[in-house]
Structure 1
């Protein structure tokens, strides 16, 4: 039964959303396999059909044949049962960092969402095993590198298959331990994979799709946060709020761009016409903020559709047509849609990092910040000479931004011919997803620095006269920042504060914009 503490996420009852996967990844939902009779019956029918084909000496790729270019190699009947073990054994060659706990949960959830569709020929015990791993938080130790994104995420998913069989290592209770030991501790018997079950677990897009769900959710929050930071920066730099006029944006009505402008209008509460002497036009990083952030906003609904379609698809090979009693050989393991989603998302997010970097460059520069001290230093009197304000922070922001921009090279165009030219066109979707997460991580670092700058810049603007009254959520967030971040009037190390702010961003501490 589901815990009283968190709601159940029942696999098989309804399509999963990005939010479902994020909740499972954050341990805010508990994985349960549907108990609906029709769902369970369909899964069992697929497994039974495979059993009947085997009894009738049917030829099934990956069941009675070798894998990939070895599909012409027939497996002696006495050895068919050993084939799944060999598949995950020889794919145990991943390297690089290990997926973190949230990423690992997202991967297991994505694989379960695909297999529960009943077209992969797997048994109910295998699906229950995946759900059990999530419920008990037994996390396969999955190396991040080694997948070309077609024939699915074979190498990283081999670590999931091996753990279900009691092999390799898991992360459990904050420690890395042997899988066999932990399975015994939670009362789960290791599986003996049935024919095709090793292939069904591994020959899919679960790693790239799980990571894509997490990336989408973090990017969505970054879009809102960048909008709020822009509002702060408009006020701190005595900018022109009328650049976000409703009639102006009705003339070019991209929905996400218009939404961003509306959020800025709501934050800035500026209904007055520009006063005499006010600059007619701010620099692009302020004036065109809705046009930059709006591209990300407008991409998110499209990218959600790509990610959630993949999440709720049967994406291994071959598939089982239970109703027609056919084996269907195809290429649904190809992760091209996730590759497109991640290559697109990392580009739009990196552009937001660049926007914020340019806003900060204006804000710290006494030539362009309209009356604020250089580097936003709050030091006064003789001590002003030895204090440097946010000088180094702006350099770091520029470094993080440059690295984010460098990561935007599309991964999907770097297909390699692999596996004796059987996998001769591959998606690189998993590399694109990892790149995207890195771009998001760097952009979150930029945003953390911008929170410091917002707190500093607004207080300094108040000293010389703030030409607006902070209201509503903007005022509340500024008050929170003032309480959490001390004014930078004497040089000090900022790294601990930045790390805390990063944690706040990733925990989505601030609720931003009720329109969403």
Structure 2
């Protein structure tokens, strides 16, 4: 396991509550909360709580004074020129949550909703959104009790933030629409009543503060980032196994070679591959130069590795920012109208990351094409069919798996079209340039899911190839790391001696990968 994976695991294993309002969040901490392995709590720090209260008090002052402030005493979006009568101000935030209840598509998975909730709470906890402490406390209570709004994935253009999907979070707070609780889909009002949580009556600015931000795209991006980090480590391990199975040349990963072109991720990849290969790899008789999918693997995987570095920086800035509009300085009382809800950085990060992820999937697909083709695998049987099977002639080995791997890879590559290039002018041309950040994040997650499928297909294939070599007596004892990975794979997908359906095995491997039970 890489040092970076160790960092993720140690943070995930920490059961100390994450104190929102006192701690700077990391991508790893979002992942830990999303997977329900780290609890959350609202900070008890007096200065933090005083700051939140001052922001809410300032909103109350603005309402009392009759000041014209966007979304507090005016309509929303292009309707900002419409002044709202005093007697209707309290209806305004609830109306906002209701008319945005028009999302469609599948509901976001529970871990994505939890990540979204944490991102939104953390943004509001900066104290410049004008919400009450009570609102933050109730949001944290929902997260603690695992009351998750049913949040449709489709309907956000990423500016003004994730309005439509976040309206489902606001609706849950006020006891409207449906939530997922203890695996059941139920009316929010019934669940709140059961838990003794009083529905919140939204005050001016609070509906807008809940909805006008980048929490959905940021939450999805953080989960995607963490799983992409795992994919880097796994791709390195698979490449080492493929290289050994095809009697490849380990000198392609020599540390001195990578001092001459020192991209950090590329060098880390080469080191990870070389470190688990036997010392006699690359002995006389192997190819002088392996094909690109082996020889250039660090140059492909390294691009994803290095991309994760700058993406992490951007995501953590977004995660720890105030990203709604308007923002209210609790110290000076100044109101700032701006566009921090714009998800441009998240969108660009996800569009770039999905391209690098898909390229790794393509690399693995090319490795499998070599493994199953007896013309290129240095002596392995066609389709990795076990030749000692009495019915060897009728056995087709992993022929169909290679087709599926190619299908998953092709779909991943197809989705690399940048979502951020498709800005649409919306809402009476008020939102005339939008980020598409949420679509970019969803696309990146889908590309990642397909690439994970490719990776487990390759795990089956390299394990089959190494076991064939071992049963033939062509391999001495495997290096400990590769032997551990091989053992983990074979427990879930035994050596294929005769044709059988592999779907169940692949699903078990995919679950093990996502639950981090596969060593890499």
Say yes or no: TM over 0.5: yes
Q: CA deviation at 1:510?
A: 2.7
Q: Equivalent residue of 2:446, what SS?
A: helix
Q: CA deviation at 1:477?
A: 1.6
Equivalent residue for 2:142? 133
1:31–1:274 Cα change, 3 Å: closer
8 A Cα contact 1:371 1:464, kept in partner: no
Task: Tell me if 1:288 matches 2:288.
Answer: no
Equivalent residue for 1:367? 375
8 A Cα contact 1:133 1:139, kept in partner: yes
Cα deviations by residue, 1:248-269 (Å, 9 ceiling, x for unpaired): 0100000000001011111113
Q: CA deviation at 1:470?
A: 1.7
Cα deviations by residue, 1:175-195 (Å, 9 ceiling, x for unpaired): 000000000011100000010
Residue of structure 2 aligned with 1:176, choices 185, 202, 211? 185
CA RMSD of aligned residues (A): 1.3
Equivalent residue for 1:383? 391
The separation in 1 between residues aligned to 2:483 and 2:391, in whole angstroms, is 31
Task: Tell me if 1:409 matches 2:417.
Answer: yes
Q: Equivalent residue of 1:177, what SS?
A: strand
8 A Cα contact 2:492 2:509, kept in partner: no
Equivalent residue for 2:406? 398
Task: Tell me if 1:442 matches 2:450.
Answer: yes
**TM-score with structure 1 setting the length:** 0.97
The separation in 1 between residues aligned to 2:202 and 2:450, in whole angstroms, is 41
Q: CA deviation at 1:483?
A: 3.4
The separation in 2 between residues aligned to 1:50 and 1:466, in whole angstroms, is 75
Q: Equivalent residue of 1:268, what SS?
A: coil
In structure 1, list runs of 5 or more residues that go unmatched. Answer: none
In structure 2, list runs of 5 or more residues that go unmatched. Answer: 1-12
Q: CA deviation at 1:19?
A: 1.3
1:384–1:305 Cα change, 3 Å: same
The separation in 2 between residues aligned to 1:461 and 1:269, in whole angstroms, is 15
**TM-score with structure 2 setting the length:** 0.96
The separation in 2 between residues aligned to 1:269 and 1:16, in whole angstroms, is 41
The separation in 1 between residues aligned to 2:36 and 2:283, in whole angstroms, is 52
1:467–1:487 Cα change, 3 Å: closer
The separation in 1 between residues aligned to 2:255 and 2:503, in whole angstroms, is 40
- Output aligned runs, 1:5-16, within 5 Å: 6-16=15-25
Task: Tell me if 1:421 matches 2:429.
Answer: yes
- Output aligned runs, 1:194-205, within 5 Å: 194-205=203-214
1:71–1:386 Cα change, 3 Å: same
The separation in 1 between residues aligned to 2:175 and 2:501, in whole angstroms, is 47
Task: Tell me if 1:433 matches 2:441.
Answer: yes
Equivalent residue for 1:219? 228
The separation in 2 between residues aligned to 1:417 and 1:224, in whole angstroms, is 41
The separation in 2 between residues aligned to 1:380 and 1:113, in whole angstroms, is 60
Cα deviations by residue, 1:408-430 (Å, 9 ceiling, x for unpaired): 00000100000000000000000
Q: How many residues align?
A: 508
Task: Tell me if 1:244 matches 2:249.
Answer: no
The separation in 2 between residues aligned to 1:479 and 1:181, in whole angstroms, is 48
